[in-house]
Amino acid sequence: MTTALFNPKSRLTAIILLVVLLFACGASAQQAAAPSIAFTISIEPQSMTAPGNVTVSARVSNAGNADMTTPISLYDPEGKLVTTFSDGGSLQRLPSGENYLWQGQYAVKQSQLGEGKLVYTLRYSSQDASGTLIEQNLPATADIAFTGEKVDLRVNRTITPEVVRRGKEVSVIYELVNQGNVKLTNIVVRENRLISTRTQTVATLEPGASTTLTFTKQNVTANLSSSALVTYRKEGERQTRQLSVEAVDVLLARPALQFELTSDKTQVNIGETAMLTLTLRNAGNISYSNITVTDPKLGDVFTNVQIDAGQTRELQKEVTINETTTYAFTLKLEDNTGTTQEEKVPDLKVSAYAEGQMLRLNLTLTASSESITSLPGTITFDITVTNDSNTAAKNINLRHANRSIYTINELAPGQSTTISRVFSLSQPGKYQFTAVATDVQDNPVEFLSNALTINYVVPTPAPTREMVVTIPPAVTYSPIPADFTPGGGQTKDILFIVTLVLGALFGLSLLLLVFSGIMRAKARAKSNAAFDTFELAGARDYTAQPDDKRQAVETLVADDQVPEETLVVAPEELPHQKYLKEDKAKVEGLSTEAPAPQTADEEGTFRLTREEEAEQPAEDSEPRFRRAERHKTAEDKDQDQG
């Protein structure tokens, strides 16, 4: 036993046990010295037929061995501080073994009567083993019974499905529960018109009973909204009560589940492992649950998978590859539209190779320059392709940005070749080439070269050649005599005089032009005035029948006006006047009643005849104001002549 005490492990164990015992004893002593608070309440009366005031009695006791020195506060069922509790709502000290009694009033509400209880809370702080203050909440409950009439109708709504597919139907189910103690009658439920235009009625509903009503919308083609207005009566009353069910959108399904299967390695040696990753992206508004993923070779890969609308999940599965395998995952989906379906994931092929069969190509990219000085800039890229595998590489296609550059028919193991090409770069940046070759399993394998960064450098301008300026010799001018007159001065004077003369002539011609314009305007006015004194008798139609009403128009002349001497010129006799004279002579010898014009010959011509008309006084067709102006003008002329 002495040897055991000197054993280091035994001594360490004994020390730990002693420390634990000391802490336990200290904690027990502290707990024994800590206060212990008890809190109870009671109310009077304990039953009510309607909301009203009750008397609440509270008892706070310190059953511990230490005094309570931290403040104690009382809060009512609504969480408000009771200010009548002790001094302003806080009891500052409660000695050990003493009690504190409080009594007050509280207004009970209908909802509290429905719950059947009142809960008061005592709040204070206590110290833990480390001396830290911890806030404590100590509740106390008093039961209260409601013995009056209770009218309470609860409405629960269920929408199936939550999201509806186009052309399908949606059902809205209302559960009506009478939670009161009186019978309810004439319960009417009106659903949103987007779902249903008819109302449904429940004649009576006993206390504690429930019933369901269903509204259905078929052939949904757009988003819907569900809301309800419920009206009912208490038995024996004519007053109608009502409650509303808030609106909820019923969305048209928009499926957009995307899935992809990838692997960290698509080429492995036989016996190596690969990590398969199934990525699910739900970009639609449908939620999927209980998803099962299966594969013909692996069986159930993932089960009980859930993905909500807008969520993305990645599921990983590590597999051991013993042979070249093509994985074909199938998704069995259940969504919240009530639809169950299957989706095929695009196949993924993982190739397994025996030792030394895997194709390995090494691409080394170099450039003739690290930068270009113009855009576009010319640069030469050299791509060295080396076959580092143990098998021949065939049909090696060099590419850049999905554009084929050159094809190498075959590279033997260890063989290298370099391809040089001149490129015109439109912009600086990082450049990398790709080689795609076919391995022994006829699989296309892609290899990347190293990346080169080509920068753009502004070309340095050539230094400016310094220009040497030759200063011409100074020129000495002879002094100008005082009486020297420049030859060009006379020419300037002559030009000035000519300019003045031309300007004067131009001004004079302008004045004459204005004066002549004024005179022409006055003459035109006089001509118009003279023209207004004449009346035109109109053109004569010699082929028309005689008109007894037509009369000559005479021009009135003032009696005192002296006619001016005018030169009378005998008018030239026109051809037709000769025939008129002959006809007139014949007519004078005949009777006064002339016959109507007859055809003179067989050729269809007519003889022109003229009927004499009795002279009638000319009608005064000239307006008075114009005649007065004419008379006035004539008088002015006589005065000028006199």
For residue 111, what pLDDT is reported?
Answer: 85
Edge to edge, what strands does the sheet with 170-178 contain?
Answer: 153-160, 170-178, 210-217
- Same-domain check for residues 281 and 199: no
Answer whether residue 220 is part of any domain: yes
Residue 367's pLDDT is: 94
Q: Are residues 85 and 62 in the same domain?
A: yes
The pair phi, psi for residue 607, each rounded to 5°, is -90, 135
**Tens of pLDDT, residues 214-248:** 999 999 999 999 999 999 999 988 999 999 999 99
* Whether 161 and 207 share a structural domain: yes
| Mean pLDDT along residues 79-83 | 91
Residue span of the structural domain in which 42 resides = 34-146
Mapped onto helix, strand or coil, the DSSP state of residue 580 is helix
- For residues 224 and 183, membership in a common domain is answered with yes
Predicted confidence band of residue 612 (pLDDT cuts 50, 70, 90):
very low
Is the pLDDT assigned to residue 599 strictly greater than 50? no
The mean pLDDT of 312-341, rounded to a whole number, is 94
pLDDT score of 556: 43
553 part of a folded domain: no
pLDDT at site 74? 92
Check: CB of residue 408 under 8 Å from CB of residue 460.
no
The angle formed by the CA atoms of residues 376, 382 and 383, to the nearest 5 degrees, is 120
- Number of structural domains (the chain) is 5
| Residue finishing a domain among 394, 424, 456 | 456
pLDDT value, residue 607:
46
Q: Is residue 200 part of a domain?
A: yes
pLDDT at residue 361, rounded to an integer: 93
End-to-end CA distance of the chain: give it in Å, rounded. 182
Is 514 within the bounds of a domain? no
Mean pLDDT of 397-422: 91
Residue 514 has pLDDT above 50, yes or no: yes
Are 128 and 157 within one domain? no
Tens-digit pLDDT profile for residues 453-470:
999 998 877 676 677 777
Which tokens in the block code for residue 439?
């391995």
In a domain, 206, yes or no: yes
Given a cut of 90, whether residue 148 has pLDDT beyond it is: no
Of 127, 146, 165, which residue constitutes the final position of a domain?
A: 146
Confidence band for 487, pLDDT divided at 50, 70 and 90: low
Q: What pLDDT sits at residue 558? A: 42
Residues 186 and 217 occupy one common structural domain: yes
Both 26 and 41 in a single domain? no
Give the whole-number percent of the chain exceeding pLDDT 70: 74
Which amino acid is residue 108, in one-letter code? V
Confidence category of residue 105, pLDDT binned at 50, 70, 90: very high
User: How far lies 303's CA from each of 281, 306, 342, in Å?
Assistant: 17, 9, 14
- pLDDT, the chain, mean: 81
Give the pLDDT of residue 284. 93
323 occurs within a structural domain:
yes
Q: Which helix (H) or strand (E) holds 529?
A: helix 488-531
DSSP-assigned beta bridge partners for residue 127: 133
Q: Is residue 168 in some structural domain?
A: yes
For the chain, give the number of residues: 642
| Chosen domain end from 112, 146, 180 | 146
pLDDT of the residue at 96: 87
Q: Are 135 and 39 part of one and the same domain?
A: yes
Per-residue pLDDT tens over the stretch 12-48: 666 776 655 655 544 444 444 456 889 999 999 988 8
Q: Choose among 633, 640, 614: nearest CA to 557.
A: 633
pLDDT of amino acid 67: 85
pLDDT at 546 over 70: no
Task: Please list, in sequence order, all residues whose beta carbon lies within 8 angstroms of the beta carbon of residue 468, skipping any fewer than 6 positions away.
Answer: none
Peptide bond into 255 cis (omega under 30): no
Whether residue 137 sits in one domain with residue 54: yes
Q: Provide the CA 449 distance to its chain's centre, in angstroms.
A: 44
Q: Do residue 69 and residue 17 come from a single domain?
A: no
In a domain, 138, yes or no: yes
Do 278 and 225 lie in one domain? The reply is no
CATH number at residue 180: 2.60.40.10
Q: Measured between alpha carbons, how far is 330 from 301 in angstroms, rounded to an integer?
A: 10
247 and 306 within one domain: no
User: Residue 592: is its pLDDT beyond 60?
Assistant: no
For 85-98, the pLDDT digits (tens) are 988 888 888 888 88
Whose CA is closest to 445, among 527, 353, 369? Answer: 353
pLDDT tens digits, one per residue of 245-274: 999 999 999 999 999 999 999 989 999 999
Q: What's the pLDDT at 383? A: 95
Dig out the tokens for 77 from the structure: 């069922």
Phi, psi angle pair for 75, to nearest 5°: -125, 140
Q: Of 303, 304, 315, 309, give the one whose Cα is nearest residue 337.
A: 309
pLDDT band per the 50, 70, 90 thresholds, residue 442: confident
Residue with tokens 């070749």: 417
Over residues 8-12, the mean pLDDT reads 62
